[in-house]
Amino acid sequence: MITLTNLQKRFGELEVLKGIDVTIEKGTTAVIIGPSGSGKTTLLRCLNLLETPDGGSISIGNHKIDFSGQKVRGADVAALRKQTGMVFQNYNLFPHLTALQNIMEGPITVLRKPKEEVRKRAMDLLEKVGLRDRADMYPHQLSGGQQQRIGIARAMAMEPAVLLFDEPTSALDPELVGEVLRVMKDLAEEGMTMAVVTHEMQFARDVSDKVIFMDQGVVAEMGTPDEVFGNTKNKRTLQFLNKLNTI
C-alpha cells in the first residue's frame, strides 16, 4: 500500500535518511520509534512531501514518485500529497477559524465540494472525535487534547489513504494524552492506514501492527510489536528501550 524504496534525504552535508525501505500494508498501523535526531520527523515529512527526498521512491496506492531522476513535477506532488493527511505535534490548527471551519476548509477550498455536504461530514467527524458540542469554538478556546482531536478530524476530512502522525501527544499535558490516543485507536480499528511517530510505547504495543525502529537515518529494526518489544536481538533497539524504561 505504502512503499518506500531506498528513500534518501540530505540537509546540506547532513545525511538524515540513508536509504529507507519500508512497506506499510493497507489498513494497518505502523509505529515509528527511535532516538532524537534519528530522522523520524523527516521521514514523515518526506511522505507528504513537505520535504523533497533526494533519492529513492515513494508509492502510495497507485501513485508513485521516483526522486532519483529529474525534477519532480508539481502535479505528481499534488497527487501524492492528496493521498496523505498529517497530524502535527503542535496541532497547527488555523486560529482564525472555528473547529468546524478548520475541518471544512480543505474539502471546500481544495476539493470544491458543496458546502452542505461538507458541513454534514464535518459534523460526523466532530462526533467521532467526541467534540460535536465544540463545533463553533475557536482553537484558543479548546484544550490541547481537544485541539489535537480537531487536528485529526481536519486531516480525515480530506479522506486520505494514509494518516501521518508526528508525536501527536508529546505537547499534551499527561491527563490529555489518553483522549487523543483513544481517537487514534478507534481509527486503527476502523481500518485506517496510519504511520505514527510516538514515544507512547503502550500505544505501540497495543495498537500497532508494525514497529519501525530508526537510528541514525536507517531502519535499524522492523517487526511486529511482539518481535521488537518482546525479544529483540538488536543491540541498538535494546539500548533505546532500556533508556525509555529507566526514565
Partner 1 sequence: MFADERTQRIIGILSDSFFPILKAGLYFTIPLTLITFVLGLILAFLIAIARLSNVKPLEAAARFFVWIFRGTPLLVQIFILFYGFPSIGITLNPFPAAVIAFTLNKGAYSSEIIRAAILSIPKGQWEAAYSISMTKSQAMRRVILPQAVRVSLPPLGNSFISLVKDTSLAATITVTELFQKGQQIAAVTYEPLWLYIEVAFIYLIFSTVLSFLQSKLEQRYDRMVAK
Ligand X SMILES: Nc1ncnc2c1ncn2[C@@H]1O[C@H](COP(=O)(O)OP(=O)(O)OP(=O)(O)O)[C@@H](O)[C@H]1O
Report CA torsion sign: 144, 151, 178, 213: negative
Asked if residue 36 binds ligand X (CB under 6 A), the reply is yes
Of 2, 16, 47, 177, which one interacts with ligand X (CB under 6 A)? 16
Task: Choose one: 22-30, 53-61, 153-161, 236-244; the region binding partner 1 (CB under 8 A).
Answer: 153-161
Binding track, positions 96-135, relative to partner 1; x by CB under 8 A: x--------xx--xx-------------------------
Task: Restricting to residues 24-63, name those near partner 1 by CB under 8 A.
Answer: 48, 50
Give long-range contacts, CB 8 A cutoff, 24+ apart: 175-178: 176/143, 176/144, 176/145, 177/145
Task: Choose one: 76-84, 126-134, 191-199, 216-224; the region binding partner 1 (CB under 8 A).
Answer: 76-84
Asked if residue 14 binds ligand X (CB under 6 A), the reply is yes
Query: Crossing angle, helix 115-128 and helix 144-157, to 10 degrees?
Result: 140
Of 8, 28, 29, 42, which one interacts with ligand X (CB under 6 A)? 42
Q: Which residues contact 46 (CB under 8 A, 6 or more apart)?
A: 7, 9, 17, 52, 53, 58
Considering CB distances under 5 to 8 angstroms, the limit depending on partner class, which of ligand X, partner 1, Mg ion, none binds residue 98?
none
Q: Residue 207 Cβ, how far from ligand X at the closest point, in Å?
A: 20
Q: Residue 216 Cβ, how far from ligand X at the closest point, in Å?
A: 9
CB atoms near residue 244 (< 10 Å):
12
What residue number has its CB nearest to ligand X? 41
Cα separation, 212 vs 196, in Å, equals: 10
Of 27, 95, 114, 230, which one interacts with partner 1 (CB under 8 A)? 95
Q: Which residues bind ligand X (CB under 6 A)?
A: 11, 14, 16, 34, 36-42
Q: Which residues bind partner 1 (CB under 8 A)?
A: 48, 50, 78, 81-82, 84-86, 88, 90, 92-96, 105-106, 109-110, 138, 140, 154-155, 157-158
